[in-house]
């Protein structure tokens, strides 16, 4: 029960009008901190890694850690590969034991996106109960955020979104709606709530089949998050905030204990700081007690 894919916990979330957090980790202390918060608050959770740390640490190593921790945890936990642009590496991580794979071919032509995404979907479904996430449109970087929000062409077109999901057989779907990676430059980022609602209505109006993902969680105001959940967002990716928390916790601990050489204590500081940040997110996403 503890090792799950993303779709199964998101189906529950979408029905219950809450969302599951997908928290980006680059090391073991962070990963443990994410799990600590989920266990403490009895919440389902998604551990996510981007491609660089997966390659650096090794997909097999990450999966071994994940499976050991998740098998013993009293809450459902998914291991998600985020924004992978290489079909071959998506397949490698599926073979290794990731339970959710995101193929991000959103920079390709529409046809290229469909064919690469479908290739990964077909492969993962043959390997096992692995859900696959795909993206249509572009989630802007922090520099491009305003431009993306203003440029209609880069947001997901609802009609095309339905065609995309049907053509690829995707399990979960990330439509670009104006959210951005990194830190939002403006206090009130321009998010197209209605677009998410429309896509959700078209895909899931007759019963939830393909739960929706919101990227760029860091820095979104709480009332925006509530509205996005209302519009169908069932998974929120949070990366930048965890990176900042890791570095800040290390810096603060080391600055205050410059004469000490005890790496274990730095790890404890990181794990605890991550637990607090993730706990706050779990509360905002309303997944507390849903495990």
Q: Which of 36, 82, 104, 171 is catalytic?
A: 82
Asked if 91 is part of the footprint of Zn ion (rule: CB under 5 A), the reply reads no
CB 192 within 8 A of CB 214: no
- 47, 230, 283 from 17: Cα distances, Å: 21, 7, 13
CB 221 within 8 A of CB 200: no
Candidate residues 118, 195, 198, 215; the one interacting with Zn ion per rule CB under 5 A = 215
Q: How far is the CB of 39 from Zn ion (least distance, A)?
A: 25
Q: How far is the CB of 255 from Zn ion (least distance, A)?
A: 31
Binding to Zn ion (CB under 5 A) within 131-170 occurs at none
How far is Cα 85 from Cα 135, in angstroms, rounded to an integer?
11
Nearest to 156 by CA among 193, 101, 196: 196
Query: Would you state the structure tokens that stand for residue 185, as one six-digit string?
Result: 């430059």
CB 39 within 8 A of CB 282: no
Asked if 275 is part of the footprint of Zn ion (rule: CB under 5 A), the reply reads no
Q: How far is the CB of 107 from Zn ion (least distance, A)?
A: 13
Binding to Zn ion (CB under 5 A) within 227-256 occurs at 237
CB 5 within 8 A of CB 131: yes
Q: How far is the CB of 269 from Zn ion (least distance, A)?
A: 27
Asked if 271 is part of the footprint of Zn ion (rule: CB under 5 A), the reply reads no
Binding to Zn ion (CB under 5 A) within 192-211 occurs at none
Catalytic site residue 82? yes
Q: Which residues are catalytic?
A: 82
Residues that bind Zn ion (CB under 5 A): 215, 237
């Amino acid at each position: 029960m503890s090792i799950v894919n993303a779709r199964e916990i998101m189906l529950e979330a979408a029905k219950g009008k809450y969302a599951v957090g997908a928290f980006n980790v680059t090391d073991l202390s962070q990963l443990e901190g994410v799990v600590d918060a989920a266990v403490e608050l009895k919440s389902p959770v998604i551990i996510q890694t981007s491609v660089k740390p997966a390659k650096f640490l090794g997909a097999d190593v990450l999966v071994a850690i994940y499976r050991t921790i998740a098998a013993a945890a009293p809450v459902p936990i998914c291991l998600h590969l985020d924004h992978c642009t290489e079909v071959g590496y998506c397949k490698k991580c599926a073979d290794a034991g990731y339970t959710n794979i995101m193929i991000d071919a959103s920079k390709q032509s529409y046809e290229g996106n469909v064919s690469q995404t479908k290739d990964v979907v077909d492969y993962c479904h043959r390997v096992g109960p692995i859900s696959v996430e795909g993206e249509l449109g572009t989630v802007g970087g922090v520099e491009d955020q305003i431009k993306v929000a203003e440029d209609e062409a880069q947001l997901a077109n609802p009609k095309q979104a339905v065609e995309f999901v049907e053509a690829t057989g995707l399990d979960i779907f990330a439509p670009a709606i104006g959210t951005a990676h990194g830190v939002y430059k403006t206090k009130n980022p321009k998010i197209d709530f209605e677009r998410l609602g429309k896509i959700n209505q078209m895909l899931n109006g007759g019963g939830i089949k393909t739960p929706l993902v919101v990227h760029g969680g860091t820095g979104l105001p709480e009332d925006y998050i509530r509205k996005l959940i209302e519009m169908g967002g069932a998974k929120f990716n949070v990366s930048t905030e965890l990176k900042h928390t890791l570095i800040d916790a290390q810096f603060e601990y080391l600055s205050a204990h410059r004469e000490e050489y005890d790496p274990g204590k730095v790890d404890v500081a990181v794990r605890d700081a991550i637990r607090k940040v993730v706990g706050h997110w779990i509360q905002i996403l309303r997944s507390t007690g849903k495990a």
